[in-house]
Structure 1
């Protein structure tokens, strides 16, 4: 404990307090010896960084709980990494910087439930750099992250229906080997229809 506190730049008393609050996981024990490792040190550095960004210890504890209960990246990606989306690796501090005051335990839990986020050791993985950047841009424009995530959940349902429609269409009229090659055409149809639908909505408002 003394060695860990020294490396983290905190007092043993503070370390004990963090452990009692559940901010760090318990050490591995061998008899009367408690072993801490790099995972504990990384967590302590995360706590320090989040405190500097204005998060409270209570909020950090909630974030840590959501983070620890998150699904592993292998489980989220399932059959492999997305073919067209680039996952983004983040520290908890990076995530706080992306979404500022909206990086709450509730929003983190919602993103984990949607499968946008997964855990990989001490890192967080967002399954799509593109979605991460767009979500961050919307938040910076004043849209609450909770509303962005709620919209994402609705979009997910519509996207699944559209994907099912086009996959069935292509499987019925194209060779199996042509499905990936024709995939951009389906995306272009959806993009054009969405653009025209937004034109109609905006003109009607």
Structure 2
């Protein structure tokens, strides 16, 4: 990023002013996180004016629904399927979840995935469950970069699964001729069943796949190291 671009962001109030010592301007991890958030929003098609509104909404303490509306994520027909609980963290608290893994590359990947957003001097993780799971995987020795790569791949697959259910709703409910209120009620009733189907199928698939991997590994162990 050029100094001219950075100066422009400061003038537009997108980035807070740096700490100055004489003619030297010092930018912290907070500034870096803010710049990566701006970059992620730009790639999603937001204008700088829209990004300024979003950041202002966070800084003024508006509720998450207002910020979601600015992002174009508000739900108008039914409550959201997701029941995730966002969690607020300082950069130091986030780093404590991933010892030795708090690199700029991993932070950028989290922002690009939408796992993290910047709220003043704090970070907001989109899901306590995702944060706990990621931290546990890293605790087992899996690099955070690999966890994030897996998360990106999982998202591709769950988007396809969500499309299956969305198609069912479009073809069987929205085309049924019912009034909007009854459709909304039906969709709300179907939410837990959609989750149950996915959870059951995933559990059985994991059993099959993991058992296959373990069986193959045990066979290798039983035969000992291969001859060079």
Which range, TM-score by smaller chain? 0.5 to 0.7
Q: Is residue 95 of structure 2 the alignment partner of residue 96 of structure 1?
A: yes
Q: C-alpha distance in 1, partners of 2:168/2:111?
A: 32
**1:1-205 mapped onto 2 (5 Å cutoff):** 16=21, 20=24, 22-24=26-28, 64-71=31-38, 72=55, 74=67, 78-80=72-74, 83-174=82-173, 176-177=183-184, 178-205=186-213
Task: Look up the SS of the partner of 2:21 in the other structure.
Answer: helix
TM-score w.r.t. length of structure 1 = 0.66
Instruction: Compute the TM-score of the two structures, normalised by the length of structure 2.
Output: 0.60
Given that 1:90 and 1:125 are in contact with CA atoms closer than 8 Å, whether structure 2 keeps it comes out as yes
Runs of 4+ aligned residues of structure 1 deviating over 6 Å after TM superposition are none
Deviations 1:24-66 (A, max 9, x none): 5xxxxxxxxxxxxxxxxxxxxxxxxxxxxxxxxxxx5xx7424
- Aligned-partner SS, 2:95: helix
Distance 1:144 1:181 in 2: 39
In the alignment, is the contact (CA less than 8 A) between 2:20 and 2:26 conserved in 1?
no
CA contact (8 A) 1:166 1:186 kept: yes
The CA distance in 2 between the partners of 1:66 and 1:191, in whole Å, is: 34
**Equivalent residue for 1:10?**
none
What SS is found at the alignment partner of 2:99?
Answer: helix
Q: Which ranges of structure 1 fall in alignment gaps of 5 or more residues?
A: 1-13, 25-59
CA distance in 1, matches of 2:152, 2:36: 20
State the match for 2:224 in structure 1.
none
CA 1:96–1:67 in structure 2 vs 1: closer, same or farther (change >3 Å)? farther
Q: CA, structure 1 residues 192+149, in 2 after alignment: closer, same or farther (shift >3 Å)? A: same
Structure 2 alignment gaps of length 5 or more: 1-18, 39-54, 59-66, 174-181, 214-228
Identify the residue that residue 27 of structure 1 maps to in structure 2. none
Q: CA RMSD in A?
A: 2.6
| Distance in 2 between residues matched to 1:64 and 1:102, nearest whole Å | 19
| Superposed displacement of residue 104, structure 1 | 0.9
Secondary structure in 1 matching 2:135: helix
In 2, Cα distance between the equivalents of 1:80 and 1:176? 18
Mapped to 2, the partners of 1:21 and 1:102 lie a distance apart of: 27
The count of residues paired between Structure 1 and Structure 2 equals 154
